């Protein structure tokens, strides 16, 4: 019997990417074959995102493209997974008849049974359970290079920010056992892993649901002892849970890179209250000062939302001045995306034109800040994880400790000798741009 060929489209953030790797890993252990091209397979799987408007649109457009391929006979069955069917399964089933199955965020372990049902002509909908948490024993089919990996420390979220529907999509926070995370990373390090990126909806919250205390410092110290592993990076940390103990572990553990991703979302106390972030501007400023004092050389990435309902020009100017004063190494800006979140029904929605203008102003400010901050590294040496060789430029591209995969800048490296992809080298920085650096190895 010819194995069923599976094609995959993975959309959204690294948390979604891990889910896609788990789906493919589970299927690879069965009698399925992974297709090279999703446009030529028996079953096309698409793992969707529904966090903001642009992500929802990308997901729907991608589903429609796969539906077209099904009509043309290039794929036989179409299965939609993830956040979009978890929230909108009824509308998807009604409006896109080519969909053969809908699988929510907690049903990935049942994907084999879903495919069997689909191949038998059924149209299953599996969106009842959101409690899924994977462990180290589950197979993963890596969609990233061998030298870096995303590892979830938990699933779901206990916060109820008014702009966010993640708790509805993923449930309350569930931490993985510490030993499970360590075993997963240790095994990957044996296979060449250099950098682990710890992720969850709120990584700094890790452990609170297990025993009422933060376990991230303990986890960092355990991972710091793994042979072969070089870099440990913290992504997606809610500021209210970034404790002094976590900062001390970052400072003391040599393998924990001095980088933290901490979405602040706004700086106006009025906006932070409306967003239900649990902090004021003054508390946020004090935290940033404490972070930099505790961890010298710390690179801070953050994100802000502009155009949240009720945001006045005064609120925005307060945010603008905050960014100018605190000078973040990396910064992203989103315009508020009205959907099915709690803020969607609030009064004083901000016009799209004003949202865009505010985003552009803030990003222009950050561009200048980033240029100045990058200039500090010219003439210094930075460790750089080499990721690719660019033949057209006859140079390598990599990342320093200040650069998370896929979202931050890069370091372009000229070398007189061949460099090994996936290894870390000391690089002399020779030039800076707004977001990237140039360097050389003699």
* pTM of the predicted structure, to 2 decimals: 0.95
**What local confidence, expressed as pLDDT, does residue 212 receive?**
86
389-405: pLDDT as tens digits:
999 889 999 999 999 99
Residues 6+ apart with CB under 8 A from 316: 268, 306, 358
Distance CA 22, CA 134 (A): 8
122-161: pLDDT as tens digits:
999 999 988 889 999 999 999 999 999 999 999 999 999 9
Instruction: List Cα–Cα distances, 135 to 152, 184, 200, 212, 362, in angstroms.
Output: 9, 8, 14, 21, 40
**What local confidence, expressed as pLDDT, does residue 45 receive?**
98
Mean pLDDT taken over the chain: 95
411-441: pLDDT as tens digits:
999 999 999 999 999 999 999 999 999 999 9
Mean pLDDT to the nearest integer, 52-71 = 94
Give the architecture (CATH level 2) of 381-441. Beta Barrel (2.40)
Domain with CATH 2.40.50.140 in the chain: 381-441
SS3 at position 78: strand
Domain with CATH 3.80.30.20 in the chain: 148-375
Class of domain 4-126: alpha beta
Domain with CATH 3.40.50.12160 in the chain: 4-126
Distance CA 97, CA 82 (A): 18
**What local confidence, expressed as pLDDT, does residue 340 receive?**
78
Tell me which H or E stretch contains 301. strand 299-306
Mean pLDDT to the nearest integer, 65-77 = 96
Does domain 148-375 fall into CATH 3.40.640.10?
no
Contact call for residues 411 and 427 (beta carbons, < 8 A): yes
Distance CA 34, CA 10 (A): 14
256-303: pLDDT as tens digits:
999 999 999 999 999 999 999 999 999 999 999 999 999 999 999 999
**What local confidence, expressed as pLDDT, does residue 345 receive?**
82
**What local confidence, expressed as pLDDT, does residue 52 receive?**
86
Highest mean pLDDT among 34-38, 129-133, 207-211, 326-330: 326-330
Mean pLDDT to the nearest integer, 229-247 = 97
**What local confidence, expressed as pLDDT, does residue 1 receive?**
62
């Amino acid at each position: 019997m010819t194995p069923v060929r599976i094609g995959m489209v993975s959309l959204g953030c690294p948390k979604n990417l891990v889910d896609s790797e788990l789906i493919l890993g589970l299927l690879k252990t069965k009698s399925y074959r992974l297709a090279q091209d999703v446009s030529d397979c028996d079953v096309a799987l698409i793992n969707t995102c529904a966090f903001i408007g642009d992500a929802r649109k990308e997901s729907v457009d991608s589903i429609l493209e796969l539906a077209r391929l099904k009509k043309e006979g290039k794929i036989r069955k179409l299965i939609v997974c993830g956040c979009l069917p978890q929230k909108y399964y009824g509308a998807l089933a009604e409006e896109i008849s080519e969909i053969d199955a809908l699988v929510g965020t907690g049903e990935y372990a049942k994907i084999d049974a879903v495919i069997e049902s689909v191949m038998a002509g059924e149209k299953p909908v599996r969106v009842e359970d959101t409690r899924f948490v994977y462990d180290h024993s589950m197979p993963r089919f890596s969609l990233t290079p061998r030298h870096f990996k995303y590892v979830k420390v938990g699933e779901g979220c206990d916060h109820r920010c008014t702009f966010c529907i993640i708790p509805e999509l993923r449930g309350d926070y569930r931490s993985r056992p510490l030993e499970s995370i360590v075993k997963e990373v240790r095994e990957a390090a044996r296979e060449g892993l250099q950098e682990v990126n710890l992720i969850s909806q709120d990584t700094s919250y890790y452990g609170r649901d297990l025993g009422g205390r933060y376990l991230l410092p303990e986890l960092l110290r355990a991972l710091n002892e793994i042979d072969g592993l070089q870099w440990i990076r913290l992504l997606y940390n809610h500021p209210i849970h970034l404790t002094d103990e976590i900062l001390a572990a970052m400072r003391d553990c040599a393998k924990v890179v001095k980088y933290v991703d901490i979405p602040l979302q706004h700086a106006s106390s009025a906006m932070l209250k409306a967003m239900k972030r649990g902090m004021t501007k003054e508390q946020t400023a004090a935290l940033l000062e404490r972070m930099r004092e505790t961890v010298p050389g710390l690179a801070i990435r953050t994100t802000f939302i502009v155009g949240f309902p009720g945001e006045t020009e005064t609120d925005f100017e307060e945010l603008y001045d905050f960014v100018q004063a605190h000078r973040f190494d990396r910064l992203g800006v989103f315009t508020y995306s009205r959907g099915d979140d709690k803020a969607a029904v609030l009064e004083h929605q901000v016009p799209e034109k004003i949202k865009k203008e505010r985003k552009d102003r803030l990003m222009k400010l950050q561009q200048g800040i980033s240029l100045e901050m990058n200039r500090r590294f010219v003439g210094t040496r930075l460790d750089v994880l080499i990721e690719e060789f660019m033949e057209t430029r006859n140079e390598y591209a990599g990342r320093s400790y200040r650069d998370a995969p896929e979202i931050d800048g890069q370091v372009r490296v000229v070398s007189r000798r061949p460099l090994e992809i996936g290894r870390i080298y000391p690089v002399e920085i020779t030039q800076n741009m707004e977001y990237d650096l140039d360097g050389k190895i003699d």
